[in-house]
Amino acid sequence: MSKLLVTGRKKLSGETYVQGAKNSALPVLAATILTKGENVIYNCPVLSDVDASARILRYLGCKVSRSSGAVIVDADTVDRCDIPDELMRKTRSSIVFLGAVLARTGKARMSFPGGCEIGLRPIDMHIKALRQMGAVIKEKHGYLDCAAPNGLRGAKITLSFPSVGTTEEIMIAACLAQGTTTVTNAAREPEICDLAEYLNKCGAKIYGAGEGVMVIEGVTSLNASHHSIIPDRIVAATLMSCAAVTGSSITLDGVICSNLASVIPVFEEAGCSIKCRSGKLEFNAPEKLKSMKTIRTMPYPGFPTDAQAPLLAAACVADGTTVFVENIFENRYRHTGELMRMGANIKTVGKVAVVEGVNSLYGTYVEATDLRGAASLVVAGLCADGQTEIGGVKYLERGYENFELTLSELGADIKKI
Ligand code: EPZ
């Protein structure tokens, strides 16, 4: 089991390119199942979650290869409609394959995706939406048996919550459905817009992505296309947290600043200065961060839940108190226990975490329990006195491509052992 060794208090400097967005690559890869011909997905990050999706695509019969940052998928030879349990459990996002397999083959059999460390991750909204589109879904013994013998049909769907995964599931299932689907209260994340852009390049008719109401007119077929994945806004927010806690000035390349509109003001409140120009984000941190008052995680365009953990680590060494309210997932403060081992002063009650800034954290052994929690421990290690040993690096590798390499190139003293 690999670990990370971080020696704190090293300043960062220089420029780094932000990887492609994991949460865009995963649904786009699933959507390739709908297409004829060879898709080339550029700027696809090298991550274990992406590898897991590639394994599912290969199992279903697709030809999948990688060449210099791009993933190439040819789905013409899809000849299965089931996904085995061990492949489903690898990532939560595997549920988005359900709509794709159903739309492509007319049936699908797969196990419930694993819940994960941040919450139960139910799929009731996914199931309800697909049933509204004519799918017959039987749930038994942890398996989903789905059929759409006469194909899927367009439906008027209103989501009780702007669920990202459910919105993606519907978009993918509706592209080849008979008739028109409208989604009210759809998720508006940039990754939703990226998926819509890819599908429309393939010949889909998706309107209103990124707005509250989305319309998808079913078409008869989709042709493979070339697409470049948008930059990962959460990796950008994590790198900004790394610079913030080390009083550093760094430049992030390939960032879409408008996708960080709810994150940038939080760093500015903490005393950082941020300039966006021609696809680059110039970040300058003060020697000592000010507290960020209150951060409430919300569906996009609100503050992203995935950035809560890295920013909470930064709040641990800010001057004053920062209150976090985690409104999206029910168990997303597990990293606070590990941060307290490093001397952080945090009290969590339900959705709320109250972080009293301390003068400094100290290095010790800590264990990651989920993807963004692992990132928060790296942020903390970068500013702690002495050396921090971080276990559970596999969680980090789910969403951060060569993160320790990126940070050491910026001047951090961090290595994987
Ligand atoms: C996506 O998860 C992201 N994952 C998550 O990123 C992200 O935190 C989340 O969206 C919110 O932005 C991917 O895109 C692969 P949701 P998803 O459906 O689709 C509840 C990361 O760190 N819900 O918007 O699962 C659910 O339990 C990951 O990169 C239901 O109740 O998020 C949660 O409380 C973590 N029933 C809330 O909605 C359902 O059927 C938001 O979930 C579906 C969801």
* 182-205 residue pLDDT tens: 999 999 999 999 999 999 999 999
Coil, strand or helix at 255:
coil
Residue keyed to tokens 């400097």? 13
Domain boundary among 197, 228, 259: 228
The verdict on 255 and 387 lying in the same domain is yes
329 DSSP assignment: -
Contact 181, 164 (CB under 8 A): no
The verdict on 286 and 180 lying in the same domain is no
The verdict on 207 and 286 lying in the same domain is no
* 330-372 residue pLDDT tens: 999 999 999 999 999 999 999 999 999 999 999 999 999 999 9
pLDDT at 121: 83
Burial of 256 (0-12, 13-18, 19+ CB in 10 A): middle
* 279-329 residue pLDDT tens: 899 999 999 999 998 999 999 999 999 999 999 999 999 999 999 999 999
CA 114 to chain centre: 16
Check pocket membership of 188 for ligand 1, CB cut-off 6 A: no
Reading phi first (left if > 0) and then psi (alpha if -120 to 50, else beta), residue 203 is in: left
* 141-154 residue pLDDT tens: 889 999 998 899 99
pLDDT at 89: 84
Quickly list DSSP for 115-168.
Answer: -BTTB----HHHHHHHHHTT-EEEEETTEEEEE-TT--B--EEE-SS--HHHHH
Tokens read off for 96: 């988005």
The atom of ligand 1 lying closest to the CA of 168 is 19
Check pocket membership of 306 for ligand 1, CB cut-off 6 A: yes
291 DSSP assignment: P
The atom of ligand 1 lying closest to the CA of 161 is 38
- Dihedral sign (CA 315, 320, 325, 330): positive
Check pocket membership of 84 for ligand 1, CB cut-off 6 A: no
The atom of ligand 1 lying closest to the CA of 328 is 34
Helix%, strand%, coil% for the chain, nearest 5: 35, 30, 35
Task: Quote the ligand 1 centre to 147 CA distance (angstroms).
Answer: 25
Contact 262, 292 (CB under 8 A): no
Check pocket membership of 324 for ligand 1, CB cut-off 6 A: no
The CATH number for 386's domain is: 3.65.10.10
Burial of 359 (0-12, 13-18, 19+ CB in 10 A): exposed
Number of domains the chain is built from: 2
Task: Calculate helix-pair angle for 308-315, 371-383, nearest 10 degrees.
Answer: 20
**Has residue 399 got a pLDDT over 80?**
yes
The atom of ligand 1 lying closest to the CA of 123 is 40
Tokens read off for 187: 């998720």
Task: Quote the ligand 1 centre to 386 CA distance (angstroms).
Answer: 36
**Ligand 1 atom 23, closest CA:** 122
**Ligand 1 atom 31, closest CA:** 122
Range of the domain at 388: 4-19+231-416
Check pocket membership of 130 for ligand 1, CB cut-off 6 A: no
Task: Quote the ligand 1 centre to 164 CA distance (angstroms).
Answer: 6
pLDDT at 93: 80
**Ligand 1 atom 13, closest CA:** 23
Contact 326, 297 (CB under 8 A): yes
Task: Quote the ligand 1 centre to 166 CA distance (angstroms).
Answer: 9
Average confidence (pLDDT) over 101-106: 97
pLDDT at 115: 56
The verdict on 208 and 248 lying in the same domain is no
The verdict on 130 and 275 lying in the same domain is no
Average confidence (pLDDT) over 75-90: 93
Coil, strand or helix at 309:
helix
Domain boundary among 194, 228, 262: 228
Amino acid at 57: L
The verdict on 273 and 216 lying in the same domain is no
Q: Is 202 a catalytic residue?
A: no
Domain boundary among 188, 203, 228: 228
The verdict on 196 and 286 lying in the same domain is no
Report the chain's mean pLDDT, rounded to a whole number: 96
Average confidence (pLDDT) over 85-91: 86
Task: Calculate helix-pair angle for 334-341, 308-315, nearest 10 degrees.
Answer: 30
* 245-287 residue pLDDT tens: 999 999 999 999 999 999 999 999 999 999 999 889 999 999 9
Probe residue for ligand 1, chosen from 116, 131, 139, 164 as the CB with the greatest number of ligand atoms within 8 Å: 164
Which among 62, 116, 146, 257 is annotated as catalytic? Answer: 116
**Ligand 1 atom 7, closest CA:** 306
Check pocket membership of 254 for ligand 1, CB cut-off 6 A: no
The verdict on 157 and 271 lying in the same domain is no
* Confidence category of residue 114, pLDDT binned at 50, 70, 90: low
Contact 363, 342 (CB under 8 A): yes
CA distance 369 to 336: 11
Task: Quote the ligand 1 centre to 89 CA distance (angstroms).
Answer: 16
pLDDT at 416: 97
The verdict on 202 and 89 lying in the same domain is yes
**Ligand 1 atom 41, closest CA:** 163
CA distance 288 to 152: 56
CA distance 309 to 365: 18
pLDDT at 90: 81
Task: Quote the ligand 1 centre to 171 CA distance (angstroms).
Answer: 16
pLDDT at 142: 86
The verdict on 29 and 156 lying in the same domain is yes
112 DSSP assignment: P
Contacts of 131 (CB under 8 A, 6+ apart): 137
Residue keyed to tokens 């966006």? 276
CA distance 379 to 396: 12
As beta bridge partners, residue 276 has 281
The verdict on 44 and 132 lying in the same domain is yes
Average confidence (pLDDT) over 28-47: 98
CA atoms within 13 A on the CB side of 127: 17
Contact 175, 218 (CB under 8 A): yes
* Confidence category of residue 113, pLDDT binned at 50, 70, 90: confident
Most distant CA atoms of the chain, gap in Å = 64
CA distance 127 to 139: 10
**Ligand 1 atom 4, closest CA:** 23
pLDDT at 279: 86
Name the nearest CA neighbour of 370 among 417, 316, 322, 326.
Answer: 326
The verdict on 289 and 245 lying in the same domain is yes
